[in-house]
Amino acid sequence: MTPVKTHHHPSERGVRASGPAIAAFTATTALGCGVEALWAGMRADRDGLSACDFDGVTIPTRIGRVHTLDNHALPAELTAWDCRNNRLADLGLAQDGFVDALARARARYADHRIGVFMGTSTSGIGATEAAFSELGDDGTLPDWFCYEQIHAYDSLGGYLRARLGLTGPGFVVSTACSSSAKVFAAAKRWMDAGLCDAALVGGVDSLCRTTLHGFNSLQLVSAEPCRPGDVDRDGLSIGEAAGFALLVPNADAVADAPRLAGAGESSDAYHMASPDPTGAGAALAMTRALDDAGLTPEAIGYCNLHGTATPANDVAEAKAVARVLGSATPVASTKGWTGHTLGAAGVVEAVIALLAAERGWLPHAHNTRQADPELGIDILTTGRAAAPDYVMSNAFGFGGSNASLIFERGGD
């Protein structure tokens, strides 16, 4: 089927977005390493979820595990940074020629002018779990454990700087599930302010006992593969992933590169673990993204929902989507393929949105058998051929930390 190209605003895309260009992007998920494995799984309607078998955890649920990670090792000179999260970051970097794209950026910009903005929720906490299992009788931790390099939030940023030789500004964001969406907005601001010329953005989150038991204690996990937006949805599936994007100024990008057209953020401060049931904060983030991009709601041809498949989240987000985009915009959550990758969800789903626009196919809500009519939005239960000019990707975290991104399709 030939994809339908939609041109909403600006007219026939006569004006390109003013935000930074996306010079390269990659994602490694439970569907495999790199975007081709991710895309092939989605087109085949095949997910990466399997019965929970991580580190002896016996919770009856499905997880999105990156199995090739178990055999991946860090470079010998960087083993002081060794933990599952940094190994996943290293594995993710090795895909899609991303390191080569960074090398080209380093040849154009000084190392100290390339920012590093990363998101994670738990960083290397799995290493701390292992360290406490080896706690000495006197309460001392094992000699191999170094909190700063293998657990602290900036462990991820520190490892990437050491691995890539980057010395520019940046930080690691930990706002739960919105973490690696918010870094796009942060990098855009720092570039606009002239504090860096280009930026490495992304997020990594790896499976750990704390996350699995924590979400289970909140009664938020499903025994089945998650079903976002389904009338019988009953919880999420936890996953792990790494994703990265390289942002460069429009003037330095190839003509057909996609763009970060707009970014919007908000904070509900409604509840530590529950979304505002009215969807007000989510709607505000989406509206701010549209304002930042200079777009009307009609310009958005597809929205990748945060869509965790929990009853409360999907209702709140649906209210926000209906309020901002209306009920006819095609939408779907893609967590049914990868699981909810938490601090990596923002970048992974941004990559999926970019691929959807680039390749002319809108992914559907995998595992969703019957879209809940009470949600009142157009949840895709089968893929749709279309190549929208603008796509939106939502990421909403605990405590009401909301982020919404808009990307402009590359090409003509």
Inter-axis angle of helices 84-93 and 125-133, nearest 10: 140
Contact 182, 265 (CB under 8 A): yes
DSSP one-letter string for 102-158:
HHHHHHHS-GGGEEEEEE-SSTTHHHHHHHHHT--TTSPPPTT--HHHHTSTHHHHH
Q: Is 177 a catalytic residue?
A: yes
Pick from 213, 214, 212, 209: nearest CA to 129: 209
- Tell me, what DSSP letter sits at residue 409? -
Alpha-carbon distances, residue 373 vs 16, 113, 377 (angstroms): 36, 49, 8
Q: Is 196 a catalytic residue?
A: no
Given the residues 151, 306, 364, 366, the one annotated as active site: 306
Q: Dihedral angle at the C-alpha atoms of 44, 45, 51, 54, nearest 10 degrees?
A: 70
CA 411 to chain centroid, in Å, comes to 23
Given the residues 177, 196, 208, 303, the one annotated as active site: 177
Given the residues 151, 340, 364, 366, the one annotated as active site: 340
Q: CA–CA separation, 310 vs 47, rounded Å?
A: 19
Contact 167, 112 (CB under 8 A): yes
- Residues involved in catalysis: 177, 306, 340
